[in-house]
Structure 1
């Protein structure tokens, strides 16, 4: 399957067995990605990258729109995956996607790896962190603090654009070069913050049925988690849970294989 920018479903590894569908994205800190880790384990792995998807368009999308569009594309291109796995701030999108795939086929097994649950406060922190990366000695370091609603995506983008213009002007970047810098950064900022805002605004009820979750030592679970959750907390931090060659990585490989090929009489999926 083609994996260029026009395809929303990327085949990471054409391994043996049923498909494992991962919802992940390239993080600003370049930490390992879930689909790459599982693909290295010779699993037949596909990726959905919502940040890349949102960076390709200029329109904000709700989580329901993203999940519905993804479900249609997945069922059309690869059929029903055996497992839907999602990580970090894509966890809620993974939940919604599994629900929508389950409308037309038996629901796949659902795995969350180091899930995060965005709140207005955490979106505000992410926004402040992005602004802190836009710094220049010529303007005395980072940008000044600003009172912006963390759920107002356009207001955050307008301020990021202003920050970039200020820094580029102070650094003496040529007028014909500045647009290229802006175009390389702003779509990524819009996509990342757009995913967080859309997740915060998601009001769908919690899903029913079993959810497998692998957590780092500092990971948290939502208040609505119940006895249907199969929780495994690894003795590593969230930053290290996807590091290849670690016990956490090996546990993930074994868990996904067990979800692909459950033992007779195992109805935990």
Structure 2
């Protein structure tokens, strides 16, 4: 994977290691990492930040390439479990598959409120980001999220750069503020849309994995990603789930139950 490594140790532990896949630049992702780090029961906790990595990347990275790259970087940790939140669920499963292929055993997969994007939802996310720049007119070029994802991402990034420049001009921004919009924010938007595209265009097998899933009361089970029999419903809203102490306790109970050699 042609991105920097963002595997970061969040909490030390003398027993074994756990990987968390979340988006550190997004509030609920930070909440989840902070929640898990409160009490790890002696397990080491390491975080993967795909959004940060893709922001630093120069173009489209497929989900299998992401999973292979992270598996290579994390192989020395020999994680006993991989925890994925929301839209990171598909990458979490693919990463566990890659780790299983290079290690002695497959890590347990724990998914929290998994969400699987579609081509239609990626298109809506693109439109939302254009509206954030105050644009409502059709894009300069057609964007086909069902077609080649690399081509779609280039078209979206090009359009967002145009929209950001227009937004900066319309608001008479000085050079520093304009650069923050046209460079930093556009790169962040491009990374997010690229991740959604990569996820929407990949279906992990997951056949050889043990998957456990905790879901809020109002989130639908994503078809083709989670076996309904693996789901435990909690009396929490989607907003409450990543910050609830009960969720942390359940996550580590699942990990310890699924890893008898810890």
TM band (smaller chain): 0.7 to 0.9
Pair 1:92 & 2:85 matched: no
Do residues 148 (structure 1) and 147 (structure 2) align? no
Partner residue of 2:246? 250
The higher relative CO (CA closer than 8 Å, separation ≥ 6) is in: 2
Deviation at 1:223?
A: 2.7
- Equivalences for residues 21-100 of structure 1 within 5 A: 21-26=19-24, 28=26, 30-33=27-30, 34-42=32-40, 43-76=43-76, 78=77, 80-100=78-98
Structure 2 gap segments, 5+ residues each: none
Normalised by the length of structure 2, the TM-score is: 0.84
Aligned position for 1:181: 181
In structure 2, the residue corresponding to 1:103 is in which secondary structure?
helix
Distance 1:32 1:178, change over 3 A: closer
Shift of 1:148: 3.1
Q: CA RMSD in A?
A: 2.5
Matches within 5 A, 1:254-269: 254-262=250-258
1:17 counterpart SS class: coil
Unaligned runs of 5+ in 1: 136-141
Q: 2 CA distance for matches of 1:161 and 1:83?
A: 39
**Matched residues in 2 for 1:225 and 1:195: separation?**
17
Seen in structure 2, the aligned counterparts of structure 1 residues 216 and 156 have a Cα distance that, compared at 3 Å, is same
Residue pair 1:19, 1:82 contacting (<8 A) in 2 also: yes
1:111 is displaced (CA, Å) by 0.4
Q: Is the 8 A contact 2:117 2:199 kept in 1?
A: yes
- Which whole-Å CA distance do the structure 2 matches of 1:93 and 1:258 have between them? 20
**More helix by percentage:** 2
1:74-123 deviation per Cα after TM superposition (whole angstroms, max 9, x unaligned): 013x2x11110111111000000001100122001110001100101111
Give SS of 2:85's match.
Answer: strand
